[in-house]
Amino acid sequence: MRHLVALLALPVLLTPGMAMGAEDAALAATALGDGVYAVFGSRNEASPENQGRIGNAGFIVGAEGTIVINTGSSYRHGRELLEMAERMGGKPVVLAVITQPLQEFIMGSAAFADRGIPVLAHEAGARLIGERCENCLRNLRRLLGDEAMLGTRVVVPARTVSQSGPINAGGRILRLIHVGWGSTPGDLAVFDPASGVLFAGALVSIGRVPDLRDADTEGWLEALHALEELSPRILVPGYGPRGDVSAIAPMRHYIERIFTLVRMRQRGGDSLYETIHGADLAEFSDWTLYPVIHPRNIHRLYLRFENEEFGQ
């Protein structure tokens, strides 16, 4: 069932690696080999201190140009990513790819559009950006302030894909992967066969509870299986530190466990309150934001199963 859960005003997303403070907003690239770099976001919730820079990004340098993966949380962030990619890669940025229609991945797109650099997303992701991201922008301005969001505007990607396939950008052949509706209806992962690096976007988090707000849980499990079959040498998640193919199994396990547990309790007659307070998954309690996101995930799944039971 393709079930879109209502978007909350602002996601709370963390990634390991930084302490709270102004340094959270500092931009640094980690070389992964063969012209591939990752830019890891802050471990803290979106805040004025980290300027909302809470999702991972990266770039891949080809023989003729550079491809940026995700454009950041603001115009300023997008411009800094663009400038860093060109400075470190030594080649002009020729394309930006959005992995999911999430505000921490898309709000820097205007910096690329102003340079005439095409922004690419899955067609469902581009549609969702057009439908809801003006609200995201208003929320970010309230949270981060007008100065941090100066110049930021919603850019709906003009270049879209509808399915998996190869793409030649900057003289580098990449594989765009869309299995279906998983973490969002517009999921894309980016695989670089030359280096064996996979940018999984929000399909994979490492050490952080995944947020099911836009998810189709069955589709998400199918997508994780497809990513495992790629056997990437290095996996860059949407949130958290670098990993490898073994990072996918814990994600799958969490989704399977919460799906089964909440459905069992809802079908067994437990109330929503009883389920939220009784569906603990202690093996994941040390993951970032477990006390915040896990109860929300339970709430969404319970309502989904209730709607299915009563044919709504």
What's the pLDDT at 19?
34
Torsion of CA 260, 10, 214, 159, to 10 degrees: -150
Identify the pLDDT of residue 309.
81
> pLDDT at position 310, please?
80
Comparing C-alpha atoms, which of 218, 239, 235 is closest to residue 177?
235
Instruction: Tell me the C-alpha distance between 297 and 225, whole Å.
Output: 21
Q: How confident is the model at residue 24, as a pLDDT?
A: 56
pLDDT (tens digit, 0 to 9) for every residue of the chain, 312 residues total? 333 333 333 333 333 333 334 445 678 999 999 999 999 998 777 889 989 999 999 999 999 999 999 999 999 999 999 999 999 999 999 999 999 999 999 999 999 999 999 999 999 999 999 999 999 999 999 999 999 999 999 999 999 999 999 999 999 999 999 999 999 999 999 999 999 999 999 999 999 999 999 999 999 999 999 999 999 999 999 999 999 999 999 999 999 999 999 999 999 999 999 999 999 999 999 999 899 899 999 999 999 999 988 875
pLDDT at 301: 97
User: Which element (helix H / strand E) includes 160?
Assistant: strand 159-161
pTM of the entire structure? 0.90
Q: By the 8 A CB rule, do 92 and 120 touch?
A: no
Determine contact, residues 53/25, Cβ cutoff 8 Å.
Answer: yes
Q: Is the dihedral of CA 124, 200, 45, 291 positive or negative?
A: positive
Per-residue tokens: 278: 């009784």
22-244 CATH fold:
Metallo-beta-lactamase; Chain A (3.60.15)
Q: Is 206 helix (H, G, I), strand (E, B) or coil?
A: coil
Q: How far apart are CA 223 and CA 143, in angstroms?
A: 33
pLDDT of residue 6: 33
The set of residues, in sequence order, having a beta carbon less than 8 Å from that of 132 and lying 6+ positions away, is: 7, 101
CA distance 274 to 288: 23
pLDDT of amino acid 311: 72
Domain boundaries, the chain: 22-244
Query: In this predicted structure, what is the pLDDT of residue 27?
Result: 86
